[in-house]
Chain A
Amino acid sequence: MSIELGHFALILAFAIATVSTVGGYMFWRSGERISLFLSQGAVLQFVLVAASFAALIQAFVTSDFSLKLAADNSHSLKPLIFKISGVWGNHEGSMVLWVMILVAFGAMVAAFGRRLPSDLLSLVLATQSMLVAAFAGFTLFTSNPFARMIPPPLEGADLNPVLQDIGLAIHPPLLYAGYVGFSICFSFAIGALISGRIDQAWARWVRPWAVLSWMFLTLGISMGSYWASYELGWGGWWFWDPVENASFMPWLAGTALLHSALVMEKRNALKIWTVFLSIITFSLSLLGTFLVRSGILTSIHTFASDPTRGLVILALLALIIGGAFVLFAMRASALRTGGLFAPVSREGALILNNLFLATAMGAVLVGTLYPLLLDAIAGTTISVGAPFFNLTFAALMVPLLIVLPFGPMLAWKRADVLGAAQRLIGAAALAIFLTILISALGGISISLAPLGLLLGFWVAFGAVAELIDRSKLGRIPPAESWRRLVGLPRSAYSTAIAHFGIGIAVLGIVATTAWETELVTTLNPGETAQLSGYTIAFDKSSQVQGPNYIADQGDFTITAPGGGTRTMVAQRRTYVASGIPTTEAAIGTYGFSQLYLQLGEPLKDTHVVRIWHKPYITLIWLGALLMAGAGALSLTDRRQRIGAPRRAIKAMPEPAE
């Protein structure tokens, strides 16, 4: 009965969301009672959807194949962790996860939003409920995860073996938390547009949500990139695949939103733009969901290639996004513009940041959608590949990264570029010195790599320079300087760490692109191969049996250039239930570099082995982790803590007047 109760819980949540939407939009002006009703409704939605999700998990864990979803996507021999993660390794289940994160954010707004003005709170929760009703309704009526199968089959059809990985337990929940988190910013934007209440306080309420979602999205994308790189056996970290772009566009827009919300919160400027970005960011999240789900793009993410579902999502998308933009068009002119500032100022730098990020987002959007539109309208198939994205994206990112270290150095309203440049001289000198040193040691031929390195070092050291500058190191006694450094607000640290992370990621990208080496060869057990100073010895080849697969296994001994050996194991698995083969690469991490070994198809008496050496590739993901960590740090800043402005007052210095 637990399955049917879970089904009912999801339906009840849908009903509460539907009624909350209608009630919220009708009575948002009526004061506190409706906002209390909606808050309670948001909490109940969360409890009910969580219960229904738990029912799904229980059916998967107990291999209850009378649930069609479990019969289609699970197998009794699967390890427990994959039984659980298998719940969202398919279209229907992942929609429930989507809705579950949506209601979790709604419940958080209800819990932390007691200090919000009741009319804004009502509008935010009504909009959130509308999204829940739309997506829970879509799930229930077009892709019901609780469909039953009687009589139940004896065994399930198993989960796609590529998804039987710890990555499935991590990547989708994080990514969804990022996508869906931006729904809060969207709901706040809709609330602001309807109520006309848009001021600095609004930005203060919105920014923590934007930071939180951005943090999850950063983690989700980077974990997806890492997962793809080790599981799909391609060894790359980014392919400008439309599915990747679908997640990258909201990230770019979200990054712009973080920065513009900062201007709005501090200086009451960029109001209309910030509202616009809030809408755009969530719209792009929805677009990503649509692109990935509709079957328009074929990839490992295409669970449902059923055109009717795609059409329904498209209709929802048109309704939600279209409605938001109509509202924006009607109301934006009524919003007042705020604080004044000179072109050269912190505000100006942040606008520049927004300009470049928005343009880059536009370039990715065009490159992703143009082939699809052309295919749909003219029937011609073209492919917009990595060269287009690399060129346009790099052309937009290089100037952005060049000016990035200046941003935090500039004063609000009117700033002195020359002064900022002077304070960055140390960082520039260090970056140039290191670039020349590395280039000389590496014996680099003419290429763009040194310029890329220079850029990466410049951004990284520029970020540190800001902290050093604010601690007045060298200008006052070291002890006092240390005291100043420790006493800096966490927001200063989070800015520096996030920007440092970008520099680190740039360094990783440049190094691995410029110096990656690859070798495809045949090896017999007992033979060795050489690549970039590493000696790879193929020790033995064997057959092993896993819980639900059998595998060809190759054992290798790697000798690093600096001496030191370690063993690595690569497998080619064939999953019993589906007969699908997967490649489990062996990855050895040396410092920040990785040696990547893949066992190819077994030939008559030998094995094809592919070996890549990827120098400093882990810096890319490390950079992303630093960025996400910076987001977490900024959330702990007392001035930003969600819904806690009152407590924060005590921490602030008393106004001078």
Chain B
Amino acid sequence: MLFWFIAIAVTAIACAALYYAAAGRMVNATGPDSQPANNHFRLVLAGIDADLANGKLGEPEAVAAKGELAREMLRQQAEVDAKAKPKAEIGRGTIAAFLGAVAVLSLVTYWMLGSPELPSQPLAGRTQASAQDIDLPAAIARIEKQLTVTPDDLRGWSVIAPVYLQTGKYPEAEHAYRRIIELGGGNADIQTALAETLMLQSNGSAAGEALTLLQSAAASDPTHVLSRLYIAAELTRSAQYDDAVKAWDAALALSKGDEPWVTAANEGRAVALNNGVVPAGTPTPTSDAIASMVAGLAARLDTQGGSIEEWTQLVRAYVVLKDLTKAQAAYDDALKAYPKTFDRGDLDAVALEAGLKGATP
């Protein structure tokens, strides 16, 4: 409220200043328009004489210049005489209308763009404040209270259920998720979350209802990953290794290859394949894989060119692979692509360290 008070006051002051500048004083309607022009002609005339004295203007040219000046003066005088009397000065009503427009435009624009209720929060003033400015328990209590009044509020249950789950209130979470499903908000995610709640209450076992829920979730959404992962983990845990391998495969079939869970799924699959024993030595990319990656990069840089970082990567890779001939060749190509030292960034340093022959400075 204080903000709006100040904003309106500022607008009023600005409008008052505008009003008194324009309408508040007497205006001489027949402005001395020709006065500055005459001054100007005097200046030009003086300039011609000064130039003549300095030899910047020849005698006949000075006469011609004065002639031009005289003609210009006459022309302008005629123009001033011929010019119709200037239109009437704008009235105070028009100015008032302008001011109204200023006030409306500024206040409406601010109302659209601004956040008048937000205070400034300089760092010094909020040393105690943490990212959690919201009082979480109070918020939960408020929602709970509301849900006792309107127990059919699907949105309320949807908000509060994950909070219960995250804060470890599993029975409450279970109740909330069941309410959501009863109220018709069930889907693969909700079913999986309820299964997760049940599992957390029974030390990770998904036997019974949890597994049914997960299977139902997986069946209802053919692209649902999380439910399939839980099923595979449950099958592995309960030593049904053949089914577990199939389940891991089903989950992995949904991956694009770079999701964070793929590693874990691969490990789980390996465990299931190995009949529940963690296999020794997890697979690492072979040097063949590195070589093929380097070859791919080299081919691409060769045909399409690339950034200096890519060239540096290529040279560095050859150096690591101890293939100095190819490293030198790649460095030479990079020098051709980036002839300026400045453009080459750290490449020269890498090459220098590996003992490659560089560009002659």
Q: Which residues from chain A sit less than 8 Å from chain B, CB to CB?
A: 1-5, 7-9, 11-12, 14-16, 18-19, 22-23, 27, 29-34, 36-37, 39-41, 44, 48, 59, 62-66, 76, 115-119, 140-141, 144, 146, 148, 150-154, 199-201, 204, 233-236, 266-268, 338-340, 346, 411-414, 470, 518-520, 522, 600-601, 603-604, 608, 610, 639, 645-646, 648-649, 652-656
Contacts and interface: CB of A to CB of B under 8 A. Distances in A.
Contacts of A653: 46, 49-50
Given A37-B22, A412-B65, A653-B46, A23 B98 contact: yes
Given A7-B114, A8-B110, A520-B361, A1 B352 contact: no
Interface stretch (B85-93, B152-160, B211-219): B85-93
Interface stretch (B11-19, B189-197, B238-246, B319-327): B11-19
A29 B87 contact: yes
B106 interface: yes
Contact of B122 (A63, A146, A339): A63
Given A1-B3, A31-B86, A7 B113 contact: yes
Nearest to A233: B342
Contacts of A520: 341, 348, 352, 358, 361
A34 B110 CA distance: 27
B322 to A, nearest CB: 16
Interface in B22-40: 22-23, 25, 27-29, 31, 33, 36-37, 39-40
Given A34-B90, A234-B342, 4 more contacts: A27-B87, A62-B122, A151-B129, A199-B76
B183 interface: no
A1 B120 contact: yes
Contacts of A236: 342
B90 A608 contact: no
B109 interface: yes
17 contacts: A1-B2, A11-B110, A15-B103, A23-B90, A30-B89, A31-B31, A31-B88, A66-B121, A116-B36, A117-B36, A154-B131, A235-B342, A267-B68, A411-B61, A413-B57, A608-B349, A652-B43
B349 A603 contact: yes
Contact of A3 (B55, B120, B129, B130): B120
B102 A649 contact: no
A593 to B, nearest CB: 19
A236 B86 CA distance: 58
A200 B28 contact: no
Looking at chain B's contact residues, the main secondary structure is helix
Contacts of A645: 36, 39-40, 43
Closest 6 pairs (CB-CB, A-B): A40-B21, A62-B122, A37-B22, A63-B123, A15-B106, A413-B61
A486 B331 CA distance: 63
Nearest to B121: A66
Nearest to B44: A200
Contact of B55 (A19, A201, A340, A411): A411
B72 interface: yes
B40 A655 contact: no
A64 B98 contact: no
B352 A608 contact: yes
A22 B121 CA distance: 39
A655 B49 contact: yes
A36 B22 contact: yes
Contacts of B124: 62-63
B22 A30 contact: no
A412 B341 contact: no
Nearest to A606: B353
Contact of A31 (B18, B49, B89): B89
A64 B56 CA distance: 62
Contact of A37 (B42, B76, B98): B98
A39 B27 CA distance: 15
B64 A199 contact: no
Q: How large is the interface on B (under 10, 10 to 19, 20 to 34, 35 or more residues)?
A: 35 or more
B123 A268 contact: no
Contacts of A66: 118-121
B171 interface: no
A44 B22 CA distance: 13
Contact of B14 (A16, A23, A39, A601): A16
Nearest to B51: A412
B342 to A, nearest CB: 4
B105 interface: yes
Given A4-B114, A14-B106, A653-B49, A19 B21 contact: no
A8 B31 contact: no
B101 A48 contact: no
Contacts of A40: 17-18, 21-22
B6 interface: yes
Interface of B: 2-3, 6-7, 10-11, 14, 17-18, 21-23, 25, 27-29, 31, 33, 36-37, 39-40, 42-47, 49-51, 54-58, 61, 64-65, 68-69, 72, 76, 86-90, 94-95, 98, 101-103, 105-106, 109-110, 113-116, 118-124, 126, 129-131, 133, 341-342, 346, 348-350, 352-353, 358, 361
Nearest to B42: A649
B122 A413 contact: no
Nearest to A202: B40
A148 B119 CA distance: 10
Contact of B17 (A4, A14, A44, A604): A44
Contacts of A8: 7, 10, 106, 110, 114
Contacts of A655: 42, 45-46, 49
Contacts of B114: 4, 7-8, 11, 146
Contacts of B68: 267-268, 338-340
A116 B40 CA distance: 12
Given A199-B76, A601-B346, A610 B102 contact: no
B14 A44 contact: yes
A604 B354 CA distance: 11
B72 A200 contact: yes
B196 to A, nearest CB: 29
Contact of A39 (B21, B50, B109): B21
- Find the residue from B29, B50, B352 having the highest chain A CB count within 10 A: B352
Contacts of B122: 59, 62-64
B89 A48 contact: no
Contacts of A610: 341
Contacts of A64: 120-123
Contacts of A4: 3, 114-116, 118
B91 to A, nearest CB: 9
A603 B316 CA distance: 13
A40 B15 CA distance: 10
Contacts of B113: 7, 11, 140-141, 144, 146
Contacts of A3: 118, 120
Given A118-B31, A610-B341, A656-B49, A34 B65 contact: no
A414 B119 contact: no
A23 B69 CA distance: 36
Nearest to A522: B352
A276 to B, nearest CB: 21
Nearest to B18: A40
B44 A48 contact: no
Contacts of B103: 15
Contacts of A29: 86-87
B35 to A, nearest CB: 8
A412 B56 contact: yes
Count chain B CB atoms within 10 A of each CB in A62, A339, A413 and give the residue with the most.
Answer: A413
A151 B118 CA distance: 10
B353 A604 contact: yes
A31 B87 contact: yes
Residue among B25, B46, B350 with the highest chain A CB neighbour number at 10 A = B46
A413 B98 contact: no
Contacts of A32: 27-29, 31, 89
A151 B39 contact: no
A560 B126 CA distance: 54
B42 A33 contact: no
Given A8-B7, A27-B94, A648 B86 contact: no
